[in-house]
A and B are shown apart, each in its own frame.
Chain A
Amino acid sequence: MDVIVCVRKVPDTAEADVMVEKSGKDIEKSRLTFTINEWDNYAVEEAIQMKEKYGGTVTVVTVGQKDVEDVLRRSLAMGADKAIRVDMEDPDDAYTLANILCAVIKNQKYDLVLFGAQSGDFNRGVTGAMVARMLGIPHATMVNGIEVLDGSIKASRELEGGLNEIYEIKLPALLTIQTGINEPRYVSISGIRKARQKPLEVLTPSDVGVGSIEPMIVLDKMYMPPPGKLAEFIAGSPEEAAAKLASILKGKGVL
C-alpha cells in the first residue's frame, strides 16, 4: 500500500492571545509557536501504521516556504519514506492549494491519499475532498476508522451525535482523517536528527506544472471578535438556574 499524506504547518492558537496585524490581512505571528496541524499528525500516524502492517511506502507532501520543512522532517522521523515540498507561499485559497497538491500527487504512485479532516488555523475542511475530485478518485471525509480489504477499504465516518457510518470505497481513494483514529507516537529529538538522511524533494511551482489559478475566495479583512465575557453567572434557585442553562445550551446548539 503506497500512501501519500498531505500535511500543513499551523500556528498553535488554542491558548495564545491572537492579534490581527494592522493590515487586517493576517495575524501577528511573531509570538506564536508553529507545529504540524493536529489532524495531519493523525493522518501521518495512520499511514505509517498501514505501512508497518501491509508494507509499501509513505510520502508526505506540503506547500510552503523553507520554514515549513520541520513538519516534513518530523513526519520522516515518524516513519515516512520521502517528503516533498512545493516551494511557494501557502495560498490563502483552498481551491488554489488543492490544484497544486493534485498536480504533485498525480505524478506519484499511490493507493491511498490521506489529509487531515481540517486544519487548526482556518478550519475549512475542503482541501482533501477537492483534491479527490480533481484526481477523479472517490473520497470520504471525517474518517475515524479504516479497514483495508482487497482492492478497497472500509472507512468509518464520524457523524454528529456519536454515530458512525461505514462506506466501502474502491482504491485508489482519498480519506480525510479525524483526530482520535489512532494514538500518534512521540517523535524524539534524536529521531528527527536521524531522519535528516531521508530524501526531501523541493519542487518549484513550474516543476509541478501549475500556472496562475484564479482563487475562489479572497480575504477581505480580519478583525477581532467583540470581547467575550468571562463566566456569566446564572442566578436563581437551582430549578431556575437549571432552566436558564438548559435554554442557553439549546440556543447554542449543543443539546
Chain B
Amino acid sequence: MAVFVFIEHREGKLMDISFESLSAAQKLNDTVVAVVAGENVSDLAEKVAKYADKVIVAEDPKIDTNNEAYTRVLNELIKKEKPKVVIMGHSSMGMDIAPALSVDLGLPIATDVVKINPEGGKIKVTRSIYNGKVLADYNLKNADTYIITIRAGEFSADDLKEKNGKIEIVDSLLKDEVADKKFVGYVQPVVGAVDITQADILVSVGRGIKDKENIPLAEELAKTMGGVLSCSRPIVDYGWLPKERQVGTSGKTVKPKLYLALGISGAFQHVAGMKGANMIVAVNKDPKAPIFSVAQYGIVDDILKVIPALTQKVKEIKG
C-alpha cells in the first residue's frame, strides 16, 4: 500500500507545504509516493526523491498550472495506483483540488488536519476547530483511499528522513485541455496600496520606536519577513506612518498569522484590533506592559536592539 503526496510547486520552486506533506506521509510507515505534475518538473522531482520511496512525474505542458488539470491528473493516478491515503496541503491549491477529487472519486476527505492516526485499515484524524479552542477526532468512512489535507506548520519538515527513492515518469494523463477554467497568470498585489488587513505577517511599531528615523529599521524587518509594517495610534498621530497603517478599534482590525508588536504597550483599543492574530509576539522594555498578556512569546528588551538582530537572523534563515 502506498501513501500519495501531492507536491505543490510554483514558478519552479517547491512550496514548504510539500515537505510538510512528505513528513506527514513518512509518519504513516508506508511506501511514500510523491506525485510531481506540471511542465519542466524533473529538477523538482529529484529534490523530492530524497524524501520519498518513489516519485511519479507527470510531465505535461497542458497542465499549465491549472488546478483543474492537476485534479484530473491526480484522479487518473489514484484510479491506477490505488493508494491508501492521498496527502496534500490545506493550502489555497489544496482547497481547490482536494474536495473536487473527493466527489469525483467518491472518496472520503478530511481537511485541515493536524494529526493522522491510522487504526488498522481505518483512518482517524484530529482537527483543530472553533478557533483552535477545541480538538476533535473524526473517523473516516471505510474506503480504499482517503484524502487528507494537512494544516501548515503541524507536520515539521525537520523530521524528514532521507529515502532517495526512484523516479518514474508516466505518460501524459490529461486527455484534453481544460475548457471551462483557464489559468491566466500570477499577479502581485499592487505595490503602494498597502492593506494591512490582508497581510499574513504584520510588524507593528508603537511609541517604543522613539524617532521617525527608526521607522526604516522596522520597515526593513517587515520586508525581510515578507510582511507589512503597521503601527499603533500614536505613530499616526506623530505623522510617522499614514493612517491606513493604524491597528486598533478606531483604525483597522487585523488577523494576520503573525503579529509582531514592537514597543507597543498594549492599550485596550489597540489590543482589540489585533487579538484575532494566530500568533502574537511582543518586544517591550517594560515586563509589565499589558501587551504581554495577549502574546504567546515575549522579549523584554529595547526594540532598537532587537529589531536589527532579528532582521539579521531572519535573513540568515531565509538564505
Measuring CB to CB, which residues of chain A are less than 8 angstroms from any residue of chain B?
11, 13-15, 17-18, 20, 27, 95, 98, 117, 120-130, 132-134, 138-142, 144, 154, 156-170, 173, 176, 180, 214-225, 228-234, 238-239, 241-243, 245-255
Give which listed residue, B136, B226, B278, B306, contacts A162 with CB less than 8 A. Answer: B226
Given contacts A125-B111, A126-B111, A224-B133, 11 further A-B contacts (CB under 8 A): A11-B130, A14-B275, A17-B133, A98-B103, A159-B10, A162-B199, A162-B200, A169-B181, A173-B180, A230-B296, A250-B317
The yes or no answer to B193 lying at the interface (CB within 8 A) is no
User: Is the CB–CB distance between B187 and A164 below 8 Å?
Assistant: yes
How many chain B residues touch the partner (CB < 8 A)? 94
Of the listed stretches B166-174, B230-238, B297-305, chain A binds: B297-305
CB of A120 within 8 A of CB of B131, answer yes
- Of A27, A126, A169, the contact of B134 (CB 8 Å cutoff): A27
Question: In the complex the two chains form, what is the Cα distance from A156 to B190 in whole Å?
Answer: 13
The residue from B10, B130, B198, B298 contacting A27, defined by CB atoms under 8 A apart: B130
Bound-state Cα–Cα, A224 to B126, Å: 12
- Chain B residues with CB under 8 Å of A127's CB are 99
A249/B139 contact (C-beta < 8 A), A130-B103, A239-B309, A254-B201 known? no
Q: Does B189 contact A (CB under 8 A)?
A: yes
Contact call A234/B317, Cβ cutoff below 8 A: no
How many inter-chain residue pairs (CB < 8 Å) link A and B?
260
Q: Quick check: is B140 within 8 A (CB to CB) of the other chain?
A: yes
Q: Which residues of B contact A231 (CB under 8 A)?
A: 282, 292-293, 295-298
A-B CB proximity, top 9 nearest: A253-B153, A242-B309, A133-B103, A129-B99, A246-B313, A216-B108, A166-B184, A238-B305, A18-B133
Residue of A nearest to B156 (CB): A251
- List, sorted by A's number, 28 A–B pairs whose CB atoms are closer than 8 Å: A18-B130, A95-B108, A129-B96, A142-B92, A159-B10, A160-B152, A167-B66, A167-B183, A169-B180, A176-B95, A219-B136, A220-B136, A220-B137, A221-B136, A225-B133, A230-B295, A231-B295, A231-B296, A234-B297, A234-B298, A239-B309, A242-B299, A242-B309, A242-B310, A246-B310, A252-B153, A255-B226, A255-B317
Which residues of chain B have a CB within 8 Å of any CB of chain A?
10, 15-17, 20, 65-68, 90-93, 95-96, 98-100, 102-104, 108-112, 124, 127-141, 152-153, 156, 158, 179-189, 195, 197-201, 225-226, 257-258, 275-276, 278-279, 281-282, 287, 292-293, 295-302, 305-306, 309-310, 312-314, 316-318
